[in-house]
Amino acid sequence: MARSDQRAKGETYLRGLLLDGRRKSMQPMAERLGVDHQGLQQFVTTSTWDTDAVRARLARTAVEAIGPVAWAVDDSGFPKDGTNSPGVARQYSGTLGKVANCQIGVSVHAVTDTASCPLHWRLFLPESWDTAKAGPAAIKAANATRRRTLKNGPRATAAAGGPTGAEVEVDVRAVTEAARTRRDRSGIPEDEGHRPKWILVVEMLDKLAGHGLRPPVLVADAGYGDNSRFRAALDNRDIAYSVQLQGEALAHAGEAVPAAQDWPGTGRCGRPPADTPVYPDEPVSLARHVAAAGREAALTLTWREGSKGALSSQFVFLRVRPAGHRVPRDGEDGVLPERWLIAQWPDGEPEPVTYWLSSLPAGTGAVDLVRYAKIRWRIEHDYRELKTGLGLDHFEGRSWQGWHRHVTLVTAAHLFLTLLRGDPKAAAPA
């Protein structure tokens, strides 16, 4: 930070995050520190320091210090009571395991088996916070509610004089104006609107690449791995990945090859089929590929030491070619890219419990494949410390800039603790 007063306020805020205390919102921190909470609020919400520059410096320091094995992406819910915090809405949160009134923060973390640290954050904006999409989203939500009401109690709805068959009327102009008012109140930039979470991740990866930082391997859960467009975006950037996905995803066997289409002389509209070769057989689910290989194909592997001993399980490894109309082909020959399919199939389970797809090279060893697939566990440790110890989800401000600055300062506090734990010369209590 360029100014001495900003550096002083930043150090004060970090002390507040690191000190004991149940709440790490500004007023309780200020009371514990013996300072004016208005000064902390001004520093976070309206001061002129460059959040992106601070975050880039933190990311470079984290990568240099811990030497990550991989980067992990995830999102986390921030429960809220009101409706004015930026991005708040009734939406599904994996952290809460249900639909709730919350914000969703999307993050990228550098991880190893022994250390990790966030590198970047973005606040997810639901459609209700996008002036171009709030109206259509409100109509969709109202009609969904009407259909549920009719399905669950058509007679009660009719008796109460509720809607029966007609579409629900929504004042789109009022909904749009309400979204614009909330955006203006929160200071959300004009170019920030609703984008899927996977796009936010890709934008963060591009931002970090602009600072000279690239992941050795990217790992993610099925919320991202199931999306073929997300995987294609990683392929386009030459980023290797190991992502979880559902067993219903479709793929061809690794040895399958496309063939030119036969044209008997007639066809729809009298036109010959496209020149691109196609695979003669229909793709099948990943679960069927593993079931065909059978349990006898499983290997017992240990991937790391846990708190209660070595972590071991049984895994099946196959080479497959993910299929689907959104999966890009390698070239004009119509060949689909070949990938690793990893399935965890523990003894005693009738079928695999988890599936991963990996773009790591064909010669990658089985232990390494499992290690990358499993290394996401580390960010669960991150989130516990960030929330319970450092107040990640305690921010009560209602500004877009304030939220991003708060999570950036929490990242600085977390990185400080990570560096302290890794320093053999650091003083420790007896």
* pLDDT number for residue 203: 98
Residues 6+ apart with CB under 8 A from 146: 163, 167, 168
* pLDDT number for residue 143: 82
Alpha helices (H) along 300-361: none
Q: Give the tokens for residue 133.
A: 């999409």
Rounded to whole angstroms, how far apart are CA atoms 277 and 367?
Answer: 36
Task: Please give the mean pLDDT across all residues of the chain.
Answer: 89
Angle at 59 between CA 58 and CA 62, to 5 degrees: 85
Q: How many CB atoms lie within 10 A of CB 256?
A: 18
Rounded to whole angstroms, how far apart are CA atoms 263 and 279?
Answer: 15
Lowest-confidence pick of 133-142, 209-218, 347-356 = 133-142
Asked if residue 267 has pLDDT above 70, the reply is no
Angle at 103 between CA 192 and CA 242, to 5 degrees: 80
Rounded to whole angstroms, how far apart are CA atoms 91 and 408?
Answer: 24
Residues 6+ apart with CB under 8 A from 332: 275, 276
Of the two residues 281 and 234, the one the predictor is more confident about is 234
**Which amino acid would we find at residue 120?**
H
Can you give the residue ranges of every domain in the chain? 4-125+195-205+379-421, 134-186, 222-258+278-375
Look up residue 278 and give its DSSP letter: B
Asked if residue 227 has pLDDT above 70, the reply is yes
**Residue closest to 421 by CA, chosen among 392, 380, 381:** 381
Cα atoms found within 13 Å of the Cα of residue 394, Cβ hemisphere only: 21
Rounded to whole angstroms, how far apart are CA atoms 346 and 339?
Answer: 22
Encode pLDDT of 330-345 as tens digits.
Answer: 666 778 899 999 999 9
Asked if residue 52 has pLDDT above 90, the reply is yes
Res. 236 pLDDT band, cuts 50 70 90? very high
**Which amino acid would we find at residue 57?**
R
